């Protein structure tokens, strides 16, 4: 979704999202998974049940660590 930032952190994809509603399709086009809609609490986190991609809402306490120590990747 618009405004999301994707990082590789500790070998795992983490998405920092400005919105509380996120969706995940696995990111592999036709090799991905069914579209999963999830809701974040403000400052919270949620994990996709299909692929394990982690979503953090902006303002989560770990956001600074991920930005500083993670590798930014293309969405």
Residue 41 DSSP label: P
* C-beta atoms surrounding 33 within 10 Å: 14
Q: Give the angle subtended at the CA of 66 by the CAs of 44 and 7, to the nearest 5°.
A: 95
User: What are the tokens at 67?
Assistant: 């930005």
Mean of all residue pLDDT scores within the chain: 92
Using the predicted structure, report yes or no on whether residue 29 has a pLDDT greater than 80: no
Can you tell me which residue has the tokens 């995940």? 24
- Tell me the domain boundaries of the chain: 5-73
Residue 40: pLDDT band by 50, 70, 90 thresholds?
A: very high
Average pLDDT (5-30) is 92
Query: In this structure, which topology does domain 5-73 adopt according to CATH?
Result: HSP40/DNAj peptide-binding domain (2.60.260)
């Amino acid at each position: 979704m618009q405004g999301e930032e994707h990082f590789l952190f500790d070998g795992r994809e983490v998405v920092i999202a400005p919105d509380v509603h996120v969706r995940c399709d696995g990111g592999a086009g036709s090799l991905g998974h069914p579209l999963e809609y999830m809701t974040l609490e403000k400052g919270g986190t949620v994990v996709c049940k299909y692929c394990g991609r982690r979503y953090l809402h902006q303002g989560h306490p770990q956001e600074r660590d991920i930005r500083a120590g993670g590798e930014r990747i293309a969405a």
